[in-house]
Each structure stands twice: as C-alpha cells, then as structure tokens.
Amino acid sequence: MARILNPGTTAPDFTLRVTPDQNLTLSELRGQPVVLAFYPADWSPVCSDQMALYNEVLPEFQKHRAELMGISVDGVWCHAAFAKDRRLHFPLLSDFHPKGTVAQTYGAYRESEGVCERALFVLDSEGTIFWSYCSPIAVNPGADGILEALEELSKQESTHGRVESTSHSK
C-alpha cells in the first residue's frame, strides 16, 4: 500500500477538471473543511459503490460545512456519465492528464495499476491535512472515519475560537 500524506502536512494545492469546461482549485475552498476521496475507478458495482454511499451521507458532511470531492484518473466525460447514472450531488475531479499527478503528490497513486488508491483526506479550513486513511484497494472504507474526523475537527476549531468570516459561494 502506498504511503499517503500524514496529518499535519499541508495539502498540496491542485487545479483539476471538474466538468468538460470547468476547473476546480483546492485553495479556493479555504475557510471550510474539505474531504478528498481518491478512488480507483468509476463504475464499481452499485450496492457496494463508495461514491454512491457518500452521496447518501452528504447531508452529514454538510452539517460540518465540509465540501466532498471524489478524485480518480477517469476522464471528465466518464465522470459526467457516472455522476448522472448514480445521481451524485458532489463534484468528481479528473486526475487524467498528466495521469495521476495529483494522486502522486498525496502518495495515493498505484503505479502498478495506474489508478488512485482508496485514500481519504480530511482537510481543515486552512488546508492542512487533519486526518488521512488508505483502505485496501478492494475494500470500500465506508464513511465512519470521515464523520469522526469532521466531528473532532469541528470540536477543535470551536475550542480554538476560530470564526470563519469568509464564505465561498459555489
């Protein structure tokens, strides 16, 4: 298994395609927690699909004002078809060209297969990795770890008395 970036590390910034004509830059999301879910490929079987599961948990992530993003090496058109089929309500980023570059900077790329690991990162509102986890590639890691990390993060940020005044509209 790859050695993914540890908590305390600044999350490497990136700009990736999110739709055929739109990019998304990580640093633009400062001011709120971010969940990055690297996954090997679109179109895994429906009842065990990690992205379909996160789609159902989305309201819980939003309670923590967290923005969820899925990342794989699939192309934007593939992502668009997958998101439509599964009725996903969060963005899928395309680490397609040069392939896997962003995943590599997070230590979440499997060179042998040419796909992303199943690696999860929760970033705090300043873009520092607060929690990370790499699941065996065939195992859907579920959402419990992410939720626990977001709760812990909310607790810490409120005890530090941080008030986020910036709001980012989509």
| Active site amino acids | 47
By CB under 8 A, residue 88 contacts other proteins: yes
Q: Tell the burial category of 9 from Cβ atoms under 10 Å away from its Cβ (0-12, 13-18, 19+).
A: middle
CB of 117: closest distance to other proteins in angstroms? Answer: 16
By CB under 8 A, residue 152 contacts other proteins: no
Pick out residues in 128-147 that bind other proteins (CB under 8 A): 139-144, 147
**DSSP labels for 36-73?**
EEE-S-S---GGG-HHHHHHHHHHHHHHTTPEEEEEES
- Report which DSSP code applies to 11: P
CB of 158: closest distance to other proteins in angstroms? Answer: 21
- List the one residue from 9, 29, 75, 86 that touches other proteins (CB under 8 A): 86
- List the one residue from 23, 48, 62, 128 that touches other proteins (CB under 8 A): 48
**DSSP labels for 135-158?**
E-TTS---SHHHHHHHHHHHHHHH
Provide the binding-site residues for other proteins, judged by CB under 8 A.
46-50, 52-53, 55-57, 60, 86-89, 139-144, 147
